[in-house]
Each structure stands twice: as C-alpha cells, then as structure tokens.
Structure 1
C-alpha cells in the first residue's frame, strides 16, 4: 500500500519590500521570484494532471509480470469541477450599469472577447488550481482584449504590508531553442515580460528590452481566487481520490486473479516430468500415491475481501463528495426530489460554496472593469466601474408551475419587479415590466379607439317615421 504524501506547498502570496523596486524592477529581483515560483509548478502540474485523469496510480511501481497489475482511475476531479461549474456558472454572469452608454460599451467589450466562453474557462482554472489570472491588453486595433493565463505561467508580487498591494507581475517561459536569435545563450533560457503600473518591458535571459508605456495606469492582470488560501476545488480530497483508485484497482486485480486460479492436483502420479512453470501453467502437482481415493483435484482460491472493499469504496465516495461540498447529482436521491425546497436542501452545501466564490468573483470583476474604464477610448468616465452591478444565478432544474404559483401568491405583497424576479424563466424583470407596460398601453389605445368608433355611429332609436 502506498502512503499518501503532499507533493507541493500551498501557494502563499509572494511578497516583496517596496523599497527594492523604487527605481523599477531589477532583473535580479525578477530572477529571485521566478525561482520561488518554480517551486510551485509541481503542485500546479499535479492538480492539472488529476483533472485530466492522469493520477498517481499510473506512476506507482510495477508489480511482477506474473501478478495482475490493473491501474484504474475514477476521475472525480473532472466530475467535481464540471458539476460545480455547470451548477454555479452555467448561466452567464450578468453585468449591468445604470448609464446606458456605459452599458453598451461593456456589452461591446464582452462580445468582442466572447465573454461566456472566456469566463467559463477562467473560472474552471480557478477551480482546478485555486487561482488563475486574466491578462488585459490592447490589440492592433487599439481594442481592449483579455486572455486567460494559468498560474504556472504568471505570478503577481505584492507588498509586505497589511494591504498587500500588487507591486508587479511576471509572465515567463523557457525557450526550446535560440536559433532565431543567434545568441550564445544555452537552450532553455528564460524569457518573458514584467508588468508594472507605469510600464511593461520584456526580457530574455539577462537582457532587458526598452520599456513600453502601460496605457492603463494599473497592472493589467487580475487574479481570481477560489478562496483566500488559493486551495483548489478538489485539492482537499486528492488523498481520498488516490486511495479510491488504489482500492478499486486492487479489486480488479482480485477479480483477475480469481479468473486465473491455480489448479491443484494432490496425490497423483504422473508419467511426465511434472509441471515446470507453476506461474505460467497455473498448476500445482504434489504426487506420491496410487490410491485414487487419496487424489484430490481442485482450484486454489485466496480468501476474498469483497465486502470490505465495497464498504471502503462506498465510504471513500461519500467522503469525497461531502468534503469537496459538491453534490453527486447522478445519485438517485436527487431524482426523487419532489419540490424545489427539497432539491435546495440537497444542494445546500454546493450553494454555500458557490456563494463564497461569488464574492471573490465580484471583487475581481470590479478590478477588471476598473482597468477597462481607465481608458478614455473605452468609456468617458474612469469611475464608471463603481456602479457596475454583478449578478450570478444558479443553473438548477426549476418547477415552472410551482414558481408561477408562488409568484401569483405574492401579488399585492411585493412589487411587480420582485414578483417577476421569482420566475426563473424571466431573464430581465425590468425589460419584462417595460413589455407589460407597452402591452397595457396598446390595449388601452385599442379600447379607446373602439369607443371612439361607436360614438360616431348613427344609432337608430326607432323614432324615425316610416314612409307609407
């Protein structure tokens, strides 16, 4: 049995004394923090490999050739991540602003960046690694664009005060070859860029290029966190998952061993030389008697621990979902939920997890739009980001008949807008109110028109004389 061990250290924030970078960020400081960041790459690789289904059991020592050696993986990390993302952020995050011109600018910015896919991938990486980054830049048409950067490619250094204000960010990688540059540097030299509030400059090895002015006035990198500790969604249950893989693999080995049981022949003489390769032929022959009554032929099977294994697998599975706080929605219990309230209770833990994540997301999105609004080419008011309203909604099956009944019962108790917000199939209560007003106005005009037509009609009251 392999012992679980932590393959990494948690990603505590990188901090720096601001006095070290008063006159810019020296390459010596950059190199120092790159070395510190490299120590965390093993953790990021481990978590990403788990999500992709390449778990530690594939890298454990091989068993002897004559023993079954199954390597089975239950990819809980992917199920946990995709289930949580679908539940919490399957619906697009809404951003609204009271100023229509600002709202239109934000909508155009999001459309240009394919925001639904961008945010889903960004938050997925946050769930996997515990944090991830969003990089903002100006393209060749001077349009603000965004891209997702994994935390093994970029890091932010903060000051050592209580506020922990970001000082600079570094995005780096390694050259596979330097044939294009023609330099004398060895293969694998580090290259990248340093981002500060004032400027952005690139570097290769020990050479720093001329700085480029930062158009935003802020470090154009936004960090998104799962929590303050930057712990990933399934990171706390990684040991349980590895143990589940080991147990179910050993169970498969037992099944295979049972199917290839040894045949034991006890007490029978043989004219042949005997069985030479017990492992290959799976026959054990102990001979020495001619009495048929003393001869025994039977299969050898080792004691099975099937019940113990099943109990352990069930316990591990329950603990994985319970500790990760993500519901196993494929369980029959969720299909038996008779009302929205009962389903809500079953999803309570995952809902609490999503609500905590919402707060971190809102904080980071505010910073995104703060950077976006800093350019006059985007919006005219640099403080417009303060009035951006962030709204998230859960992606859960809804009983529309039940919702409609609840909304009807709220008539006269709450405002029309609140009443409409109780209906999950009404995306925008304000827009729906406007449509209702338009319909009422049209109905009123139609009724008034009908009355006006009747007023101009000649009414025959029977008083006219009849000509003989």
Structure 2
C-alpha cells in the first residue's frame, strides 16, 4: 500500500532525507523487503552491485532492486512530488477539530517557490557547450554540436532535468537512437534507477526503468548494448523482447552499442538531497501556524455575546438581532437575581489572539527556510529595490549562498554531460578528434546586474587592458572575443563606405581648382593658374 494512503510520518523531514529514517516504523512495514545478497544500498540511496558479476546471469536481482525501490525509496519521491505540487501531508492529515470548531488547513507552497526560484537562477539561461582545442576546426564542430542540441530541444530538457534534481535530489537523462541519430529525454527517479559497481570508483553498471501495471513490477534492464524487457511468472524470469532466432539476444530495434551507459544520473549533491528536504519541518510548521491564524479569525467572527445582570425575553433577543441595539437596565421583575448590586452589561467573549507571537514566529521560520535552503528570497522588501540602485558588490553578497549552491550543482551537471557527449562523439559520430576533455561548459546565472556601474568600470579600463579583457567585465556581453571582432568588422565596413565618397570628393576638388590636402603624401598641391607670365608655384 502506498505510504501516502496509510500513514503520516511523525517527522516528514526524517522520512524524506536519503538513507534510513531514525524512525524505522516510518518505513511502514518495508523491513520485510530484502535485497539480494549481490546488491547493497548506501546511506545516500545508491544501489551498488558486485563488479565481478554479469547482471544478465542474475536477472532475479533486477526484480529485487526494482521491488525495493518501488516500495521504499520511491515512496519518498512520491511525497516530495506531492509537496512540490501543494499536497502537504502534515497539515492535510491533521486530526479534525472537535465540536465543529474552525478547521482551516492552509497549504503555503514554499517547496514550489524554492524549486522554481533556484531552477530559474540555475538554468534560466541554458548552459553553453563548446569544444575548445588549438585546432582550426573547432568552429565547424561547435556549429554541429549546437545544431544537434537545438534539434533535441536541449534548453527545455536540461531545465526539466535540473528541476527534477531540485525536487528529488537526483534526476536521469536517457539517451537513445532514432534512425541512427542520438536523442535524449528526462527520466524520473520515481521509476528509474542507475546501479553502480562496488569498487571505489562506483562506475555505472546498468540501469532499470520499471512500471507497476496491475500491481506487478515490469522492469526494463538497460545496459551499454541493449534494453531487456523482463517479466516474472511462477518464479521464472524471461525476456519478453527476445529475438526469436536467437533467444539469448533481443530484437535488433532494442540493440545498440554504446561505450557508456545511456542512462545518466544528475545528482543535486553527493547526498542526493532535494532542495527542500531539510526544511520540510519548517514548512509544515508554517502551514500549521497560518492555519491557526485563520482559525482565530473565524473564531472572532463566531464570537459569543455575553449579557450579564439581566434576563432577556424572546422579544428582546429578536430586537437585538434585528436592530443591533442593546438597551440594558436593572429590573427586579425581569432579573434572574435579587442582587441589586449586579449591574447589567454586555460583551463579546473572544479568545486571545497572540497575533504578535505568531507573526514573529512566521517571520523567523520563513527566513530560516530561505537561509537553510540557500535560496534568495526575491519577495524580501530589500530585494524590491531597483538593481540600478544597488551596487554590484551588494548584489553578489545577496546571491552568494545561491551562487555557491549553483556552482556545486554545475560541477555535477558537467560530469553528467561529459557522459552524454562521450556517447555522441565515440559511438554516434565516431570522431576521434573530438574529446570530452576538450569540452567547456559555461553556466550563465540569471542574476540582476548594475549595468551603469559595470559600464563605468569598463570605461575606466580604457588603455589599461586589452579590449577582450575589458569587455569581459560587462555582463551584457556574452562573448567578448566576438564582440571585439564585430567591432573591427564594423569599422572596416564603415571605412569601405567612406572610401568612395572621399575619392569622389578629391576628384571634385581637382576639377574645381581648389586646394586639396593629400592625406597620403601629407603635402599641399596647387593648381596652375593658366595665365602667362605667372609661375605655377605658390606666390610669395
């Protein structure tokens, strides 16, 4: 049974983090699920397999891994997905208030805000990928690489790849062939696994993608050479896409030959921690406090009117309800007591709101959510200032925690992309001159800049450094080298346009007899007067 349907963890944060929760009972009976003796699981929820074994000879292990993943690890991912979408378990599973008291259950979707803010910062501008060597053919190869990436819609795929890593702590890219061309798509960790060898290098051995139709695990084993669709009946494992002529092989359409595993993991960090995993307890508390504040407001609206010292008749009660007017006076006849010292009074009975305490907690909790997750709170009042009014140093200081997190994530993405391009260069294009070690990845951050301040710095650098270095200080220029070259080309074009006009001007001056400066010779020329007895030279 799905964990979301049968229990609410005592501490959702303990349950969501990678590794075994401290509350073993939060596994909801999964202790009965055992892995094969050939498989081990790290504290970061990474499956390891013996490097000395061939998985094709132990297909039962595929079912062992897929079953454990579906019933234990995937439960965490389902909860993370629900929190991202706005289904927060703690507030939704809270017990109902008794006696029909107000029972608001507000969901403040901070997980989505954290993920979308950081992902927009990290991959709002797609990573730039270039092959850089000392050879002269890099421009042609880079054009081909860019054309391939564009054809595969890489900006959208990479953005989704990075977003899923934010949510789950990891995500996968699946590379496949279409009519001999390499393509790739994102694969969710909710139903996808990469298994690594048990050596110190932890090299990827094989991958598994599975579905759960009719409650049965239907796995697909992904190796470097082929995909094997498996089924298990009466304890016997068989390959359903086997080649009829060769039962030990699969259909040709499911065969390929890659030098690396085509299922590529992109980890948020080594611990596979999602961006809101370690602040989920704060998010639950914020939901609870804001719901309580809403209940307080409802309680005020439903406050009871208390009238002391006089007994009201049915007619008086109706008049109070209709006219909203109370006129109370002491009357022994109408009073329920003979004590004349009790004076009539009326007041509303309402609970204390503790509004200041609640507001202080909310401000502190929301601030801690952003601090611990290392995401800039763009709704902070100080962030509402114009970027032109904030110095570049101040902007960098505010974005520094998120920059540090983004740099770590960029290293993980670069490592994953080298695996993808290794398949492209070696197995599809089969071009020995292309090496993944020569790839350069440039991650542009979506951060506001004080352009006026940067332009002033660039102007002050005139004569101090070369043009490429100088323009590299301006964030509005992506490629300083090309900018300098475009400037030179523009000057050359302008010179070509001016040259005919200058030549025409010089010709007109000669015909008209005017004095013309000769720019080339640096001297002055004087036309002849055509009158006899006068020198053709200058008069003194």
Q: Match for 2:156 among 103, 114, 117?
A: 117
Residues 267 and 463 (structure 1), Cα distance of their counterparts in 2 relative to 1, 3 Å cut: closer
1:351 to 2:358 alignment: no
Q: Could you tell me how far apart the structure 1 residues matched to 2:88 and 2:52 are?
A: 44
Give the drift of 1:65. 5.0
SS in 1 for 2:52: helix
SS in 2 for 1:245: helix
Residues 450 and 76 (structure 1), Cα distance of their counterparts in 2 relative to 1, 3 Å cut: same
Residues 415 and 216 (structure 1), Cα distance of their counterparts in 2 relative to 1, 3 Å cut: farther
Residue 171 of structure 1 aligns with which residue?
Answer: 209
Contact 2:51 2:199 in 1 (8 A): no
Q: How does 1:123-138 map to 2 (within 5 A)?
A: 123-138=162-177
Residues 371 and 35 (structure 1), Cα distance of their counterparts in 2 relative to 1, 3 Å cut: same
Q: Match for 1:394 among 441, 445, 451?
A: 445
Give the drift of 1:452. 5.2
Residue 364 of structure 1 aligns with which residue?
Answer: 416
Give the drift of 1:430. 2.6
Per-residue Cα deviation, 1:141-173 (whole angstroms, up to 9, x for no partner): 322111101111100111111100111100001
Contact 2:114 2:276 in 1 (8 A): yes
1:46 to 2:71 alignment: no
Give the drift of 1:124. 0.6
Residue 83 of structure 1 aligns with which residue?
Answer: 117
Residue 27 of structure 1 aligns with which residue?
Answer: 59
Query: Which stretch has the larger CA shift, 79-88 or 234-243?
Result: 79-88
1:226 to 2:259 alignment: no
Per-residue Cα deviation, 1:293-323 (whole angstroms, up to 9, x for no partner): 6344322122221111111111101111111
Query: Which stretch has the larger CA shift, 121-130 or 262-271?
Result: 262-271
Give the drift of 1:426. 1.8
Give the drift of 1:463. 2.9
Q: CA RMSD in A?
A: 2.5
Residues 456 and 262 (structure 1), Cα distance of their counterparts in 2 relative to 1, 3 Å cut: closer
Give the drift of 1:264. 2.4
Q: Match for 2:377 among 313, 317, 328?
A: 328
Q: Match for 1:297 among 342, 346, 362?
A: 346
Q: Could you tell me how far apart the structure 2 residues matched to 1:463 and 1:170 are?
A: 95
Residue 207 of structure 1 aligns with which residue?
Answer: 238
Give the drift of 1:392. 0.6
Residues 54 and 65 (structure 1), Cα distance of their counterparts in 2 relative to 1, 3 Å cut: farther
- Normalising to structure 1: TM-score of the pair? 0.87
Per-residue Cα deviation, 1:42-74 (whole angstroms, up to 9, x for no partner): 211111111111112112222225110001121
Contact 1:407 1:422 in 2 (8 A): yes
Structure 2 residues without counterparts, runs of 5 or longer: 1-8, 19-43, 133-137, 243-249, 318-334, 514-525, 533-540
Contact 1:268 1:290 in 2 (8 A): no
Q: Could you tell me how far apart the structure 2 residues matched to 1:41 and 1:463 are?
A: 99
1:435 to 2:462 alignment: no
Residue 4 of structure 1 aligns with which residue?
Answer: 11
Give the drift of 1:365. 1.2
Residues 65 and 119 (structure 1), Cα distance of their counterparts in 2 relative to 1, 3 Å cut: farther
Residues 192 and 437 (structure 1), Cα distance of their counterparts in 2 relative to 1, 3 Å cut: same
Q: Could you tell me how far apart the structure 2 residues matched to 1:252 and 1:142 are?
A: 60
Q: Match for 2:462 among 402, 411, 414?
A: 411
- Normalising to structure 2: TM-score of the pair? 0.76
Residues 263 and 218 (structure 1), Cα distance of their counterparts in 2 relative to 1, 3 Å cut: same
Q: Could you tell me how far apart the structure 1 residues matched to 2:443 and 2:221 are?
A: 33
Give the drift of 1:110. 0.9
Q: Could you tell me how far apart the structure 2 residues matched to 1:15 and 1:444 are?
A: 67
SS in 2 for 1:137: strand
Query: Which stretch has the larger CA shift, 426-435 or 305-314?
Result: 426-435
Residues 79 and 292 (structure 1), Cα distance of their counterparts in 2 relative to 1, 3 Å cut: farther
The structure having more radius of gyration, on CA atoms, is 2
Give the drift of 1:334. 1.7
Contact 1:14 1:158 in 2 (8 A): yes
Q: Match for 2:101 among 61, 64, 67?
A: 67
Residues 267 and 3 (structure 1), Cα distance of their counterparts in 2 relative to 1, 3 Å cut: farther
Residues 9 and 33 (structure 1), Cα distance of their counterparts in 2 relative to 1, 3 Å cut: farther
Contact 2:207 2:223 in 1 (8 A): yes
Per-residue Cα deviation, 1:189-230 (whole angstroms, up to 9, x for no partner): 221311112332111333313234333232101111111111
Q: Could you tell me how far apart the structure 2 residues matched to 1:264 and 1:64 are?
A: 23
SS in 1 for 2:171: strand
Residues 382 and 235 (structure 1), Cα distance of their counterparts in 2 relative to 1, 3 Å cut: farther
Per-residue Cα deviation, 1:253-284 (whole angstroms, up to 9, x for no partner): 11111111122234544667xx9xxxxxxxxx
Residue 17 of structure 1 aligns with which residue?
Answer: 50
Residue 279 of structure 2 aligns with which residue?
Answer: 237
Q: Could you tell me how far apart the structure 1 residues matched to 2:100 and 2:280 are?
A: 31
Q: Could you tell me how far apart the structure 1 residues matched to 2:231 and 2:468 are?
A: 57
